[in-house]
Amino acid sequence: MGILYDARKLKAMEFLNDLCGYAGKGDDFANSLWTEFLNDEELYREFVYYADNHTFLDEMKISGYSMSDLYVWQMDRYNIVRELGKNPTACNKETLVLNAFMEMSNMKRDPETYVLRIESGKGNDRL
């Protein structure tokens, strides 16, 4: 009898590790996010879709916010930092994507706090 394994999970894990490498994220971040994916089928499905299509599925919504919304929120936060004269090299598309997935995971556990964080920046030039 042979060993059964899920090749799709291996491919997703490799993609996550590649993204983390491009973003300069360490193994701790990759392992933490992978654990979130394994414990949340809906978030994992979003990630697999992203891995295959390089865009968000946006089926998952927390308090009305989708993955695309969290990605844009990450971009807005980066733009404010850049306007203040700080330009971190770790802030690139891969970083924004990974942060959006982690934020969605955190938002699922504590939606009220994250809605306040997202909405507190609307209409403000500075945080």
Establish if 95 belongs to a structural domain: yes
Establish if 125 belongs to a structural domain: no
* Confidence grade of residue 119 (pLDDT, cut at 50, 70, 90): confident
Q: Per the structure block, which two tokens stand in for 106? A: 């955190």
The per-residue pLDDT for range 49-107, each reduced to its tens digit, is: 999 999 999 999 999 999 999 999 888 776 644 444 555 544 688 999 999 999 999 99
Residue with tokens 């060993």: 3
DSSP state of 65: B
CA-CA distance, 123 to 102, in Å (whole number)?
A: 24
Reduced to 3 states (helix: H, G, I; strand: E, B; else coil), residue 66 is coil
Establish if 75 belongs to a structural domain: yes
Distances (CA, A) of 5 to 9, 11, 36, 39, 76: 9, 12, 20, 18, 40
Establish if 27 belongs to a structural domain: yes
Establish if 126 belongs to a structural domain: no
pTM of the predicted structure, to 2 decimals? 0.82
Establish if 90 belongs to a structural domain: yes
For the chain, the domain total comes to: 1
Establish if 114 belongs to a structural domain: yes
CA-CA distance, 37 to 43, in Å (whole number)?
A: 6
Establish if 96 belongs to a structural domain: yes
Domain residue limits at 51: 7-120
